[in-house]
Each structure stands twice: as C-alpha cells, then as structure tokens.
Amino acid sequence: MQNRGLLRRQMRRAWAETIRSSYMDQVISSERALQVHLTARLMDIFWEDDVKRRVFVEPVMRLNTGARVHPDLLICNRNSIIGVVELKYLPKVVPKYEKDFATFESLAAHGTGIEIYNRRYRGPDGGRRRFTLSADPMFVWAGVYRGPTRDIPSWMPENFGLSQLLVLHAATAADAEPEIVSVSGRRTTAI
C-alpha cells in the first residue's frame, strides 16, 4: 500500500493557499467556487512539482452494486484514481459530513472495477483514456465551516484505514482568520 505522501503534501499546500488567498480575498461564495479555486491551485502545484495529474470535477461513478456516487473531485495519476475529495463550504454552520463519508465507505467497499473516462471528449485519441480506482486511494474531506475545529469523522471508518484519510479544516469565527488544520491518521497539524 502506498502512503501517498506527495499527494498529501500537495493537498495540504493547495488547501492552505486557497484559504489564505481566495477565501480571505472574499472570492469564494459557494462550494462550487471552492472547487474552482482549490482545483486551480492544485493543478498549479502539480505543474510546479512536475507531476502529471488529472483532476475530474463531480464525475458520476457507478459502483459494482449499481449505486451511483459523484465525489467533488477525483485526482488521477497516469492510470489510476489516487484521490477522492469531498468538499464542504458552510462558513457560518456546523458541517454535516455523513454523506461524504458514506461516499468514501462505498467506494472503498464496492469500488473495485470502477472506471471513469471522458465520453464527451472529442479531441485527439477520442477520450479513450480510462482511470480505475487504485487499491489504496487517499480519501480527503476538506471543509470551511463554523469553528471551533471538530473531530471529523467522529467514528472510525470501516472500509479503509486512517492512513488513507486526510481531513482539512478551515474553522471560521466572526472577525477572525480561519483556523487551518490538517488531520492525517492520528496527527493534527496547523497549516
């Protein structure tokens, strides 16, 4: 099982920079705007690190149970889906995250054989590039929500290990900068 250390560092950096710049500049007003700014920063970091990655926004994935899930972001390397990201933008509200973690649990338990590809792409190679879910993807929950920082999730995942989970917080408070925190496994770090 890979540790996904590089992707973990890149996600932390992209999150912190997105919150410190786009959020603090008041240009994020919705979860979609958060998707745009985080994805743009993440792609810049991939380019700076000379790492080839693709990010798919809100792809629809069918599990081998027939159920459909659509995470906010999928991060792919050359052949595989290596990151599944769920975002929340609720700066004045306590976050609800159960549905997001249900998506992670479903993918971990029933995601074998999942593929995504660009059916609508019409350029060179016809969009035939397919990406399958890695045996050890990193699951990332990232939220802007009303502070204080919370234990998310409040339970142990059943279908994947803590080593596969990265939780990124931006806990807000009135008239203050958000508290930006990363939780990876049992390690909590202010970023």
Give the pLDDT band (50/70/90) at residue 125. Answer: low
Give the pLDDT band (50/70/90) at residue 60. Answer: confident
Q: What does DSSP say about strands 80-90 and 73-76: parallel, antiparallel, or unpaired?
A: antiparallel
Looking at the 3D structure of the chain, how many domains does it have?
Answer: 1
pLDDT of residue 126: 61
Which residues form the domain of 86?
5-190
CA distance linking residue 76 with residue 137, whole number of Å: 10
Q: Does the pTM exceed 0.85?
A: yes
pLDDT of residue 3: 61
Q: Which residues contact 156 (CB under 8 A, 6 or more apart)?
A: 162
